[in-house]
Amino acid sequence: MAVITPARPSGYGRLLPLAAAGTAGALAVALLLGPTGTTGATGTRDTASTAPPVTDAVVGAAPVVQGPTVQSAAYTTAVQAAAATKPKVTVIGTGGTIAGVAPTRSDFTNYRAGQIPIGTLVGQIQPEVGALADVSTVQFGNSGSGGYTIPQFYELTAAVEAALRTADGVVVTTGTDTMEEFAYWLDLTVQSRKPVVLTGAMRPWAAGTVDGPQVIGADGPANLFNAISLAASQKTFCFGTVLMLNDEFHAARDVTKTSTTRMDTFQTRELGVLGWIDGPAIRVARAPARVEQCDTPRSWATPFDLSTIPVTALPRTEIVYTYQQAGGEPITAFAQAGVKGIVTAGTGAGGVSGPQGQARTAAARDFGVVFVSTSRTGSGSVTGGSGNVVAGGDLLAQKARLLLMLSLAFAPGDADKARQWVGSIGNQEFVPVKSPRDRIPRPSA
């Protein structure tokens, strides 16, 4: 287990921001991530080895501090070995705006998504991207993100896992409408620690035809180039799946789309970005808590190995929204239709209306439906819950739905197991060190 001394900013322990965590927290992340000056990838990312000391200084809100030793051998090995071998990156295309074609070069919102093959997109950023990595492509599909089904998500996980058997990292291009759900699904189900990066675009790539001129101000080419660069660098090794758009990358669990048309649409409320890409420089500012387990692959991976279950094991799981005087009929109808899990997007700290509460009680009692309670506010935690009602913490409803679905697939009808996984996987936090010798010394006053 990688050792880290956490500081918990504003009660959110899953990600440790340098500025918010203070000197000790910033130092802990710097030690955990290791050197940040190399790029590339290696063919031995899944083999831990002894790493040399880190002497990189951390500059932020706190004074400059020197770190004693690297805390994750596997992460450091991956990043350092990247400089020695040209990495292999596979780009899996699923369509979306990034593969879109507009009528004219000045049409930013009027276009047909999912038109251009992924091989063509990658070809148009050659030879520059070829200097970063040996890039191969897989055309998984070519449509808008909202058109994909859960069985197709299941197959996408298999495609990513297959690519990672030979590639050092994978980039998945998709539409932005449900990109955060694509990302979190892969974050929960991909068992490899190698980088998985989701990217796309807010403006279509070409005008007129698939081989037509580029749309004015198209963001797709830069996003695709940067996503490949990030995957090749191994800077997100053990981070799980990340989402990269507009020169920034975010944790799949936390990121959400906040604007219908703006290129900076993806935001991580409360916590901010994991890092950013400034030309050739990739800066990592924080890390997901699962990085702590980077040196122990079995502990790092989630229990949701889809290769062990058929796609038919994934139960139907739905979301019900709460509003003034909301009726309970949708919950009743879903339960009667055979839905096994329901996420409520409640008011404030997860509140539901009286009729919804009555319907929820009946659905749990009569049909065994398991509920996860979340908030429609977009930030803040939901706590409490008992029986078949599980508190979702600060998971967004669309993310909680995927986690609940997987929980019920691997533990059918088991609300207690769902509660455990929503807490330990959906709301993971850094674990304090247990031995005094493992503690990172604080600087003198």
CB 296 within 8 A of CB 71: no
183 is written with which tokens?
């990302």
Strands 317-321 and 256-257: what pairing? unpaired
Nearest CA to 16 among 277, 269, 289, 266?
289
Please name the residues in contact with 171: beta carbons below 8 A apart, sequence gap of 6 or more.
89, 90, 91, 92, 197, 198, 199, 224, 227, 228, 231
Nearest CA to 240 among 316, 324, 157, 312?
157
Residues 314 and 319: their CA atoms lie apart, in Å, by 16
Residues 53 and 217: their CA atoms lie apart, in Å, by 44
Polymer length of the chain: 445
User: For residue 144, how many C-alpha atoms fall within 13 Å in the half-sphere facing its CB?
Assistant: 9
90 is written with which tokens?
């596979």
- In the residue annotation, 97 being an active-site residue is answered as yes
Catalytic residue among 77, 90, 97, 344: 97
Residues 319 and 401: their CA atoms lie apart, in Å, by 7
**Helix extents (H) in 11-104:** 18-33, 73-81
Nearest CA to 291 among 90, 73, 55?
73
- What burial letters (b/e) apply to 75-98, b meaning 16+ CB within 10 Å? bbbbbbbbeeeebbbbbbbbbbbb
Separation in Å, CA 217 to CA 66, 108, 172, 314, 352 = 42, 9, 22, 41, 44
Per-residue H/E/C for 114-169: CCCCHHHHHHCCCCCHHHCCEEEEEECCCCCHHHCCHHHHHHHHHHHHHHHCCCCE
Q: Which residues are catalytic?
A: 97
